[in-house]
Amino acid sequence: MSESAQTTSSHGLVSSTLLEKIDKLFACNAGDYVDLPQLVVVGDQSSGKSSVLEGITGLPFPRDIGLCTRFATHITFRRSTETKITVSIIPAKDSAPDRQERLRAWSTHSLQSLDAASFRDIMEQVTIAMGIGAETESVRRTFSEDVLRLEVSGPTQEHFSVIDVPGIFKRTTQGMTTKEDIALVDQMVHGYMSNPRSVMLIVVPCNVDIATQEILERAEDLDPDGIRTLGVLTKPDLIDQGGEGAVVDLLEGRKHHLLLGWHLLRNPGQSDLNSSRCRHTIEKEFFSKVAPWNHLDKGKVGVRTLRIRLQAILEDHIRREFPKVRSEISQKLKKAERTLRELGPKRQTQGEQFQYVVGIAIRFQSLVSSALQSGSGRAEIFEENILLRLATQAINRGEVFAKAIATHGHALRFQSEIASLTDRLSTLGMDSAYSPLDVRTVKDHPDIEDLIHVNTSVPPPSDDDILEWIDKLYRDSRGFELGTFDANILGVTLKEQAANWRDLALGYVSDVIALVHGFVVDVIQRIAPSRRVSEGIKSLLLDDLTEMYRRAVNHTELLLEIELDGTPATYNHYFNDNLQKRNRRHERLRAGLEPKSITDCKHGTVVRLDDIVQSHPLSNARHTTLDIHDIMCAYYKVARKRFVDAVRMQVADHMLVAGKKTPLALFSATFVASMDHGVLEDIAGEEMQTKSERIRLEKEISLLGEAKKIIG
């Protein structure tokens, strides 16, 4: 180790605990995600930057080759019981995974010391490992964004860390550098300087016009208040006579004022390197004997005092920034974890895909169960969309169907209905019975538009004389019956009277299908993490769902066929009760004779025989017409209620909403278990973008988690 390296131990630089944590954060690449406090040395090529770095670190940087300027070098000193020097490479953030793995695996054996020859050998090995000088796809790699990391440990070392970056340049060298190299270096330097937590050592030679130094202008743009910029002036021995005053003005703050100030170094020249005298001896003599430098503040000249200044600057800076680093690591870790959760469970293998889709199915069935329970405070989605409350929607729609059949199911009003229609409808809340009625109330989903009943209007019952209608049907179908009628006429009259049942029933069932399908589609879209997954599940379910809906429609058609095309029949005793209430043949005969009756006879109310003979009672045909009306009216009421209950219980409830094998029960864990690997991959396999995002987030979470452990 050189004399300057040994003297580093005599000047404590920064709290060892904090600096060690910062160095570990750099080593684990936490700087890719969080700005870390750092000391970075920047300057133009040939500004004396490497000599400044050598003076600060005491390491013998190679001078005859430009290897150290082709990549950033992160140098760390730490105190330990064992003396060793460890060399490693931190890959660039955007490197390919295999390249990152190869570079991380690269390292040299631990060295006990680092002289000029061994340092040169290390630099040559690093350039080969980074691929510098190699040609890839006809492009020669001259610079690298990888970082060389030197860790110097020993019992006398003080904790210290510094980063050297390539010097910026504006002119290419034929066969060595290109315009692309200029842009790459410029980008690298700007990246280190723009870190708001970096302390910049801006190296500027004294023998140039400082106003022309782009590196200083850039520092002023990035740090306008100068709170993290320390100017370092080099080569005072090369200043033309008469130019010393400008340098003195900088050091004493009269020009280009920086809050951290300026510092002056006298780096050794080539002739000095060939002599036996050490750097510090040469520099001490220069600043003590050569005017005007011998009159300057001794705290602003020389590499030893520069290290003392750095001690104060770095310690204050790191202590000020460390709590912010800790907070930012925690915040970014939480954000990355939240973003990863939003991607859902990993689904790259068949098992992961199965568990993923099963989880969606279980969640779906849980919401189905909630939707079929009474009340509405079960889940947020039932507040957002009232149509998803299936129990409520199905019950209300069934009630609307029952009322619609009662008010608009028959073509002609029965005689008993005409007399008290207004009062009865008002009592039942059916004032709309005088107007046409739409059979559909729920909007169709595009998936099932071709399957279910279109919306149409049914008219209210006609006020035309129902007896005339029945009489015509009877006369058109009478045979040799005596005092009775053909049994088939009841079926004919019922079919025509109940003609609106078909539209009303199919409209009701179609609405329930629309509610169920809307529920299935909406809920899957809500609980699936992406449109691709929800559309994949829906596509897989659609054929089976459509078949279930078609069976429900077909069963409704069957119930209609039984009621309207079958032979009227019932064991319901209410039919006889209703018929007896409606059988008025004796009432009609009494009403015809009552005006001719004698009420003051001792035998009671009597009618003279002549009056009876002269009376013209209803004909047999008229009596038959009235009997058909009464029978049909009594049977219609029983059949209507039976049909409404059958459609609701068998179709709406059992086949569509609440049964064991409804469309709502289709998407379940059992259904998912029947999917083969190809289907699972199509539905739940992660897109390349999602896979890449997951890999990126997992890497970030792993790194930030490690960083959080480091900072404590």
CA trace torsion 636, 394, 376, 367 (10° rounding): 150
Contacts of 610 (CB under 8 A, 6+ apart): none
Residue 400 tokens read as: 């609307």
Choice between 56 and 425, residue whose per-residue pLDDT is larger: 56
Cα 106 to Cα 126: distance, rounded to the nearest angstrom? 9
**pLDDT at res. 577:** 65
Residue 516 tokens read as: 């169920």
**pLDDT at res. 98:** 87
Q: Which of 130-144, 244-258, 658-672, 684-698 has the lowest mean pLDDT?
A: 130-144
Closest by CA position to 501, among listed 395, 635, 396, 636: 636
- Over residues 2-28, the pLDDT tens digits come to 444 444 443 444 456 787 788 788 878
Choice between 93 and 129, residue whose per-residue pLDDT is larger: 129
Three-class DSSP labels, 501-540: HHHHHHHHHHHHHHHHHHHHHHHHHHHCCCHHHHHHHHHH
144 in Cβ contact with 100 (< 8 Å): no
Contacts of 351 (CB under 8 A, 6+ apart): none
Closest by CA position to 368, among listed 527, 538, 549: 527
Cα 40 to Cα 22: distance, rounded to the nearest angstrom? 14
Using the 8-state DSSP alphabet, how is residue 499 labeled? Answer: T
Orientation of helix 179-194 relative to helix 214-222, angle to 10°: 40
Q: For residue 247, is pLDDT > 50?
A: yes
Cα 330 to Cα 707: distance, rounded to the nearest angstrom? 9
User: Which amino acid is present at 501?
Assistant: W
Q: What is the mean pLDDT of residues 401-429?
A: 69
547 in Cβ contact with 482 (< 8 Å): no
Contacts of 18 (CB under 8 A, 6+ apart): 318, 319, 322
Mean pLDDT, rounded, of the chain? 82
Residues listed for the chain: 712
Q: For residue 342, is pLDDT > 60?
A: yes
Residue % of the chain over a pLDDT of 70: 81
Q: Which of 22-26, 412-416, 680-684 has the lowest mean pLDDT?
A: 412-416
Instruction: Based on DSSP, count helices (H) and strands (E) in the chain, helices before strands.
Output: 27, 14
**pLDDT at res. 11:** 41
Cα 153 to Cα 9: distance, rounded to the nearest angstrom? 11
Residue 12 tokens read as: 């404590």
pLDDT band at residue 328 using 50, 70 and 90 as cut-offs: very high
Choice between 482 and 179, residue whose per-residue pLDDT is larger: 179
**pLDDT at res. 221:** 92
Cα 183 to Cα 193: distance, rounded to the nearest angstrom? 15
Preceding peptide of 292 cis, ω within 30°:
yes
Give the containing element (helix H, strand E) for 60: none
Contacts of 341 (CB under 8 A, 6+ apart): none
Q: For residue 47, is pLDDT > 80?
A: yes
User: In whole angstroms, how far apart are CA 390 and each of 205, 556, 670?
Assistant: 81, 20, 23
Q: For residue 522, is pLDDT > 80?
A: yes
Choice between 120 and 609, residue whose per-residue pLDDT is larger: 120
For residue 85, give the 3-state DSSP assignment: strand
Cα 506 to Cα 449: distance, rounded to the nearest angstrom? 14
Decide if domain 351-566+627-675 falls under CATH 1.20.120: yes
Closest by CA position to 357, among listed 662, 670, 657: 670
Cα 357 to Cα 349: distance, rounded to the nearest angstrom? 12
Residue 202 tokens read as: 């801006």
- The segment with the largest mean pLDDT, out of 202-206, 346-350, 567-571, is 202-206
**pLDDT at res. 4:** 41
pLDDT band at residue 409 using 50, 70 and 90 as cut-offs: confident
Give the containing element (helix H, strand E) for 205: strand 198-205
**pLDDT at res. 611:** 59
Q: What is the mean pLDDT of residues 394-419?
A: 83
Residue 366 tokens read as: 């849980």
Long-range contacts of 525-534 (CB under 8 A, 24+ apart): 526/381, 527/360, 527/363, 527/364, 527/367, 528/360, 529/342, 529/343, 529/344, 532/687, 533/360, 533/683, 533/684
Closest by CA position to 231, among listed 309, 159, 315: 309
Cα 360 to Cα 193: distance, rounded to the nearest angstrom? 49
Three-class DSSP labels, 411-478: CECCHHHHHCHHHHHHHHCCHHHHCCEECCCCCCCHHHCCCCCCCCEECCCECCCHHHHHHHHHHHHC
Q: For residue 64, is pLDDT > 70?
A: no
Cα 327 to Cα 170: distance, rounded to the nearest angstrom? 39
414 in Cβ contact with 551 (< 8 Å): no
User: In whole angstroms, how far apart are CA 93 and each of 90, 145, 666, 699?
Assistant: 9, 8, 48, 11
The CATH code for residues 3-64+171-338+704-711 is 3.40.50.300
Closest by CA position to 199, among listed 56, 33, 326: 56
Strand order in the sheet with 160-164: 84-90, 147-154, 72-79, 160-164, 38-43, 198-205, 229-234, 262-264
Burial environment of residue 683 by CB neighbours within 10 A (0 to 12, 13 to 18, 19 or more): buried
- The segment with the largest mean pLDDT, out of 74-78, 242-246, 294-298, 618-622, is 294-298
Q: For residue 452, is pLDDT > 60?
A: yes
Beta bridge partners of 668: none
- Over residues 357-378, the pLDDT tens digits come to 999 999 999 999 988 886 545 6
User: Would you kindly state where each structural domain of the chain is located, as residue ranges?
Assistant: 3-64+171-338+704-711, 351-566+627-675
Cα 316 to Cα 232: distance, rounded to the nearest angstrom? 19
Query: What's the number of CA atoms in the CB half-sphere (13 Å) around residue 326?
Result: 12
Choice between 136 and 308, residue whose per-residue pLDDT is larger: 308
In terms of DSSP bridges, do strands 457-458 and 437-438 run parallel, antiparallel, or are they unpaired?
Answer: antiparallel
Residue 3 tokens read as: 């004399």
Closest by CA position to 76, among listed 120, 20, 128: 20
Q: What is the mean pLDDT of residues 508-529?
A: 93
Q: What is the mean pLDDT of residues 68-92?
A: 84
Beta bridge partners of 153: 78, 84
For residue 579, give the 3-state DSSP assignment: helix
- Over residues 577-634, the pLDDT tens digits come to 666 665 554 555 555 556 666 666 666 667 666 655 554 454 555 667 777 777 878 7
**pLDDT at res. 509:** 96
- Over residues 632-642, the pLDDT tens digits come to 787 888 888 99
Choice between 588 and 282, residue whose per-residue pLDDT is larger: 282
For residue 134, give the 3-state DSSP assignment: coil
